Amino acid sequence: MKAAIINQYGDSNELSVVDDYVNPTITNNQVLIKTYATSVNPIDYKARQGALKSMFNWQFPVVLGWDIAGIVVEIGDDVTDFTVGDRVFARPDMDDTGAFGSYATLMAVNADKVALMPETMSFAEAAALPLAGETALQMLNELHVTAGSKVLIQAGAGGVGIVAIQLAKVLGATVATTAGPENATFVRHLGADIVIDYHQKAITDVISQYDAVLDSVGDIDAGLAVLAHGGRIVTISAKPTPEQLAVATDNDQTLLAGWLQPNGQDLAKLAAYYQNDALKIVIDSKFPFTTAGVRAAHERIESHHARGKVVIEMVAE
């Protein structure tokens, strides 16, 4: 099969697409998906640079990628929820060997991570949703966001922020978000009530006494400063320090490091929001599945200013 591999950690030039990579085989509880599209998340470039070295004993060549949309071409003996020909998407589990990611034309995926795509969803949209969308959904749950909550969602124009703003509005929350000036109107259209231009203002100058903060930029101190007593903050891009945890405890606040737990049920919930027009999927850019395309996709996400998701198409629609 075709796959984008890296043979060592480094910059985007380490990525190359090869035609003769070994095909994956499925276990009883997996489906084999013919990939139509994948998307690039910040974890992809961090992994490419070697940030996950201490967590996994990957052997080169490594195939990155943790979002997939495509068609089921084979099912394991114990799989009952899917059938050959289904249009599906998933945030697959990490492969401990590093050999099989979604930057490939075939991927074996545990069936409990898979959901059916809504009929009206394109493969590019479907590839853009699982990792960022499941993260947004699960972190809002961790934050106990409900009707009337005041929640700060950092980086509103990013992959996670775009979904989080929309879901928080569905839940009935008041949403403040941070964005550059060129994204202010965009995040307002998604539903944000208060938009803070982080280039011009500190969030502490604009909001206070918030119930919840989703920190996706690693600014835990500012998040704690705008939280009310008893408020909750989840960071998805930093490790809380002992000092920050102590500040939270002193103020009866809950400070958590959040990690996505991928699962097909949450993805099916997101699919239902999409079908009910409560959730828009925003694609920043699409790249072809070529060496130049995959490298450019990584460079786009590494700019930290993609508006929405960066998608790689194996099959152009």
Q: Which of residues 180 and 288 has its CB atom nearest to ligand NAP in the complex?
A: 180
Q: Does 178 bind ligand NAP (CB under 6 A)?
A: yes
Binders in 119-148 for ligand NAP, by CB under 6 A: 132, 135
Q: Where are the beta strands (DSSP E) in 3-137?
A: 3-5, 16-18, 30-40, 68-75, 87-90, 106-110, 114-116
Is residue 137 classed as helix, strand or coil in its secondary structure? helix
Q: Does 166 bind ligand NAP (CB under 6 A)?
A: no
Binding span for ligand NAP by CB under 6 A among 37-45, 89-97, 141-149, 266-274: 37-45
With CB under 6 A, what is the number of residues at the site for ligand NAP? Answer: 29
Least CB distance from residue 135 to ligand NAP, whole Å? 4
Q: Does 301 bind ligand NAP (CB under 6 A)?
A: yes
Contact assessment for residue 305 and residue 15, using Cβ atoms and an 8 Å cutoff: no
Least CB distance from residue 163 to ligand NAP, whole Å? 9
Chain centroid, CA 178 distance in Å? 18
Binders in 101-120 for ligand NAP, by CB under 6 A: none
The only residue of 68, 127, 143, 160 in contact with ligand NAP, by rule CB under 6 A: 160
Is residue 49 classed as helix, strand or coil in its secondary structure? helix
Q: Does 60 bind ligand NAP (CB under 6 A)?
A: no
β-strand pairing of 194-197 with 174-179: parallel
Q: Which of residues 24 and 130 has its CB atom nearest to ligand NAP in the complex?
A: 130
Q: Which of residues 150 and 307 has its CB atom nearest to ligand NAP in the complex?
A: 307
Contact assessment for residue 112 and residue 263, using Cβ atoms and an 8 Å cutoff: yes
| Residue that the structure tokens 């009929």 belong to | 119
Dihedral angle of Cα 316, 42, 185, 177, to the nearest 10 degrees: 150
Q: Which tokens hold the place of 211? A: 């119930």
The only residue of 88, 129, 176, 260 in contact with ligand NAP, by rule CB under 6 A: 260
Q: Which residues of 235-253 are buried (b: 16+ CB within 10 A; e: fewer)?
A: bbbbebeeebeebbeeeeb
Q: Which of residues 86 and 302 has its CB atom nearest to ligand NAP in the complex?
A: 302
Residues making contact with ligand NAP (CB under 6 A): 41-43, 132, 135, 154-155, 157-161, 178-180, 183, 198, 216-217, 236-237, 258-260, 301, 304-307
